[in-house]
Amino acid sequence: MEKAVINQTELAIYQGDITDCAVDAIVNAANRSLLGGGGVDGAIHRAAGPQLLAECRTLGGCQTGEAKLTKGYCLPAAHVIHTVGPVWQGGNHQEAQLLASCYRRTLAIADAENFRTLAFSAISTGVYGYPIAEAAQIAVRTVKEYLIAHPDVPLRKIWFVCYDNTVAEAYSQALENKQQGDK
């Protein structure tokens, strides 16, 4: 399944480069310094240009599970919400709670800013090593729970941006509400 609708908000999967997304905000998988890095963080900073780093320098970093807002500068997206996912350490270090918090805190910012469109990257599923199927389940479940609990949220479209097939398949299963390994 590629789509789901909760109240007035459509959830969909987009397979491609998040720096191409012309939305109110794209969600960056950052690190606690907020000073850039590799992966999607590096791609977003390269596409946004040096003003993004300059603004990030004023934010004083970001705790794991928290999120902070900046402008999008040269990106087609108007804003970037930087969130810091947990590093996978086997599953007994609050990883699931921290990852869910990334999605909740990001949605709270999008809600407060009256954003109508939002594109998430697959937080923690790259360098931070979070098992992809589990991360996708947490992402989709947390977003759905937030939308159910906040029926008046202005968001009308949320994309889960998947850079490769494996991640796209995991998100597709999660959207179908299938558990890992279900047929």
- Find the catalytic residue in 17, 24, 41, 152: 41
Distance CA 43, CA 63 (A): 21
Tell which positions 120-149 bind ligand APR, by CB under 6 A: 121-128
Q: Which helix (H) or strand (E) holds 161?
A: strand 157-162
Count, residues near ligand APR per rule CB under 6 A: 26
Nearer to ligand APR, 115 or 163 (CB): 163
Q: What number of CA atoms fall less than 13 Å from residue 57's CA on the CB side? A: 5
Q: In what order do the strands lie in the sheet with 79-84?
A: 3-6, 9-15, 157-162, 117-120, 25-30, 79-84, 67-71
Q: Give the residue from 68, 29, 73 showing the smallest Cα distance to 54.
A: 73
37 binds ligand APR (CB under 6 A): yes
Closest approach of Cβ 6 to ligand APR, in Å? Answer: 23
Pair 67, 19: CB distance under 8 Å: no
Asked about 20 being catalytic, the answer comes back as: no
Q: What number of CA atoms fall less than 13 Å from residue 79's CA on the CB side? A: 19
Closest approach of Cβ 123 to ligand APR, in Å? Answer: 5
Contacting residue, 85, 100, 133, 174, with ligand APR by CB under 6 A? 85
Nearer to ligand APR, 153 or 159 (CB): 159
Closest approach of Cβ 162 to ligand APR, in Å? Answer: 7
Closest approach of Cβ 149 to ligand APR, in Å? Answer: 25
Tell which positions 44-83 bind ligand APR, by CB under 6 A: none
Nearer to ligand APR, 21 or 153 (CB): 21
Contacts of 88 (CB under 8 A, 6+ apart): 95, 124, 128, 129, 130, 131
Catalytic residues: 41
